[in-house]
Amino acid sequence: MSDQKHMPSRDRGDLHTRAKSPAEPRLPPGSDTAVGPVPENDRYEVLGEAGAGGMGQVWKALDRRLERLVAIKRIHPGLAASPELLSRFRREARVVAGLQHPHIVQVYDLDEDATGLYQVMQWIEGQNLQQLLQAEGPLPAPRAASIIACVADALATAHDAGVIHRDVKPANILLNERDVPYLTDFGLVRIELETESLNSAGGTLTNAVLGTVEFMAPEQSADPRRASAASDQWSLGATLHQIVTGRPVRGMRESRIPHALREAILTALEYEPEDRFGSLREFAATLSDLTDTTSTMPASQEKSAVSQPDQDQSSSPSGTGIVEAIRELQSRAEGAKSAAEELVSDRQDFAEAVRLLEEIPKHLRDESRLDELRRKRDRVAELLAFIEPRAREAHLDDLREPVQELLELQPQHLEMQQLLAILPQEPVRPEQPPLLVAPFDAATARRGQEQWAAFLGKPVEWENSVGMKFRLIPPGEFLMGSPEDEPKRILYEQQHRVRITKPFYCGVYPVTQAEYQSVMDRNPSFFKSVSGQDRSQFPVDQVSWDDAQKFLAKLLLQSGESGGKYRLLTEAEWEYSCRAGTPTPFWFAGDLNGKQANCEWSSPYPNGTSKGPYLERTSPVGSYAANAFGLYDMHGNVWEWCSDWYDADWYGQSPVEDPVGPGSGSSRVLRGGSWYSLAPGCRSAFRCNTHPAYRGSDYGFRVLCEL
């Protein structure tokens, strides 16, 4: 998307703009049926289907000549007519065949028969990380770090050869039965050193979204041609986060990840590529330091390997070597169990106890006991990661409960005993106020803010170090969307009940040019020079969704951890905050005129056609009245980006409590209308959407601060 300044087209007929990204080619009608395997012949005997994907299918087969199992991957016949996809299939085979690494699935051959192209690859008996996650849930941090360290080293080898994977995700990492990982599916590979451009095949890849959205680096999402080694690193960091927490990066709750591993993940997930690890090998080395072994072999495999009897003993004709080895192994296992229990009873050292038990071969372990100790180890790490930085800065007010929980796990933790002795007694909080249930009037809205502020021990209004003001929004329940009889409603405003269960701070105004300049050291706004006006108090405009994410990341660093976590509002949070208890098309009434909002209004709304005074630009924030929650400019001035991906039918399937939008998409939601919108487009329920990289002179954003 161009970074040039944009003025909206004056002949735009609808009330919002959608930006569409080219998609992967679809299968022609009738071509989505099963692809025939390679016919049985002198070379290969097909044993069964192993899986299917967007481009083709994979079979398990026996290579009769070499007497080994192989995987045969064939492209869909319906896609064989695409020179671009055939070229990609061939390129994948050529590239991977040249990459020799113990954690990359090897390609043995590329051939063609009457049905089409196929690859012959190394067979891995096991499952992929996505399947493992679905079957077992989140993995223990050491195991996950060990697996990803191996994959990082494999990717580093690919990068050394100038190869960028571009689709790193759990589904593309296989695990064999000994927990050894293998990176596969180089179908979207890009050769950094090749001279042909991505759009050489008729331009079909220009600006296409190639990859998987939730594992795609920001720069790759904005422009696939910007994919680099650092983009693969981001994707691998997102993969590590997913397998440790069971949640995608957008739902990241850092306190649930052990501190050292969290720092490694956050570095790999830095927004700017230059702020990430210098290379995948540096990432791999960091992860290896966090595991129980110094090699790149997964801990479970290496510990099993060192515990095996010597080869010459196992092959002894008398068999006594085998028996002795078994007894030795059993003795070591019992010794490790006893030592682990002593560590738990004497010092509550769960981390060291887990390390000892993980050295025992799986079939000799007590898995339920090991899982229990892992949970305690991880919880101790979480509590320490929460307590220690706050205690060092003397932020003591909210530490009593976590310190008491940690002492329940580790009663002999001397430092925590001393800390508990000096912590202030927490005041008795008032009873939790009830949820606000719309419709409610302005007095009820203000009373709800005051009650929740008292309950939380927080102010109703708060200002951060940058000077941004926030108002406390109490939790509540309302009807999201518009009733069928609301004039000028659109189809995708299906009315449904939504419950916001957690209070939060909402920006009193959209982000201003002065605030954006203070954080980002630049001002991209189109309206940065208005005669006779203080531009610093105008809302920042001409910012994309991606720009807003960069601002939020830097704002958090600049304001410090005590400022809370900043993000965009969800679509549901935005509409709840805008309505402030009202069921009408606008928070103030069922009509809109030039004294209530900055827009290209039609009056009387909704049936009239006459127009009022039209500024044809943004206006200083706070120029119009605030709603009952104390928020300004919720209608008009600038469109406000929300965090959600857009899906027209999402309302029909979204949860009642705290909906966050679909998991993926091609465009993001905007709300509130702008200086250029007609009155119907400024309604509380109106939904706009466009590509997250799009910038316009009527696009801005508002900030939420989590409590």
| Backbone torsions φ then ψ of 54, nearest 5 degrees | -65, -30
Type of residue found at 64? R
Residue type, 647: D
State how far the alpha carbon of 18 is from the alpha carbons of 229, 540, 668, 692, in Å.
31, 21, 9, 10
Q: How many CB atoms lie within 10 A of CB 1?
A: 17
Residue type present at position 374: R
Number of other CB atoms surrounding residue 370 within 10 Å: 19
CA angle centred on 238, ends 235 and 244, rounded to 5°: 140
End-to-end CA distance of the chain, in Å?
A: 35
Tokens 């127009």 -> residue? 611
Alpha-carbon torsion (494, 495, 496, 498), positive or negative: positive
Q: Nearest-CA neighbor of 683 among 491, 493, 473, 474?
A: 493
Rounded CA-CA distance 686/11 in Å is 20
**349 catalytically annotated:** no
Dist. CA 207–CA 2, nearest whole Å: 11
List of E strands, 140-265: 163-164, 173-176, 181-183, 190-191
Instruction: For residue 462, give every residue at least 6 positions away whose Cβ sits within 8 Å of its Cβ, in sequence order, or none.
Output: 469, 470, 472, 505, 705
Q: Per the structure block, which two tokens stand in for 46?
A: 């097909």
Looking at 153, 167, 644, 698, which residue is catalytic? 167
Task: Please report, for the chain, how many H helices and E strands are present, in that order.
Answer: 18, 22
Residue 641: which of 687, 680, 683, 600 has the closest Cα?
687
Q: What residues act catalytically? A: 167
